[in-house]
A and B are shown apart, each in its own frame.
Chain A
Amino acid sequence: MKIQIRTFGIAREICGGASIQVEMPEHATAGELKQHLTEQFPRLAALASFLVAVNEEFADTDTRIQAGDEVAIIPPVSGG
């Protein structure tokens, strides 16, 4: 399945756009997506951390992603 992923902050610069598309197996987990993204964009691995959000919620490693979900890469936050 194709997953559309929103990117923010330094992740947007690393991935080269505010939105990227990746191909993942059906029912892939957030952990598997992170692994895929780290292989595709090795600079993500150098970040202090990065999380995946699914439908505007922080995802656990085993959170399953469905086609059509809103997925985002959340690099270390620095608001305030």
Chain B
Amino acid sequence: MDIFLKISDEPLDVLFCIGLVTQPACGGIDVFIGTVRDATKGKHVLRLEFEAYEAMAIREMRRIAETAFEKWPVQALAIHHRTGVLHPGDIAVIIAVSAAHRDAAFDACRFAIDTLKQTVPIWKKEVFEDGEVWVAAHP
């Protein structure tokens, strides 16, 4: 059970994450890459500003990885997340999961990104031409 977690204000590296989870016993690697979209509800997005409660975010990410290992026969799991200022097209998050067979890799990868969005203390502010909003802050 190999877990690789990182929160960084430097650009993320997809090939590096794939390399982290590549193992002789794995027959498949599933990768989710979350990128910055250039519009929200038709409004042009200039940039996103991410911040994290880093120590707690790493703890929650580890919890997600450990749960994934309990639920599916996966070999290795990497979660790398950005902080700081990102522009459309930039990579905000990478999740890479390896497993002997593809079903476990797909399922664990989807579980990891879905749960990350619900539980990991990371926040993003969308900045538009005419204002800014913390995503999901208000009902």
- Interface residue ranges, A against B (CB under 8 Å): 6, 8-10, 13, 46-48, 53, 56-57, 72, 74-80
Contact = CB atoms under 8 A, between A and B. Distances in A.
Contacts of B118: 77
Interface stretch (B23-31, B53-61, B97-105): B53-61
20 contacts: A9-B51, A9-B125, A9-B134, A10-B123, A46-B138, A48-B137, A48-B139, A53-B56, A56-B53, A72-B53, A72-B56, A72-B121, A75-B123, A77-B120, A77-B123, A77-B136, A78-B117, A79-B81, A79-B92, A80-B113
B124 A78 contact: yes
Contacts of A8: 51-53, 121, 123
A47 B137 contact: yes
B53 A6 contact: yes
Interface residues of B, number: 29
A57 B113 contact: no
Contacts of A80: 34, 81, 92-93, 113, 116-117, 122
A13 to B, nearest CB: 8
A15 B21 CA distance: 41
B4 interface: no
A8 B59 CA distance: 17
A32 to B, nearest CB: 21
Nearest to B52: A79
Shortest beta-carbon contacts, A-B, top 6: A79-B122, A9-B123, A78-B135, A10-B134, A56-B56, A80-B117
Interface in B84-117: 92-93, 113, 116-117
Contacts of B124: 78-79
- Central interface residue in B50, B81, B136, by most chain A CB within 10 Å: B136
A16 to B, nearest CB: 15
A76 B136 contact: yes
A17 B117 CA distance: 25
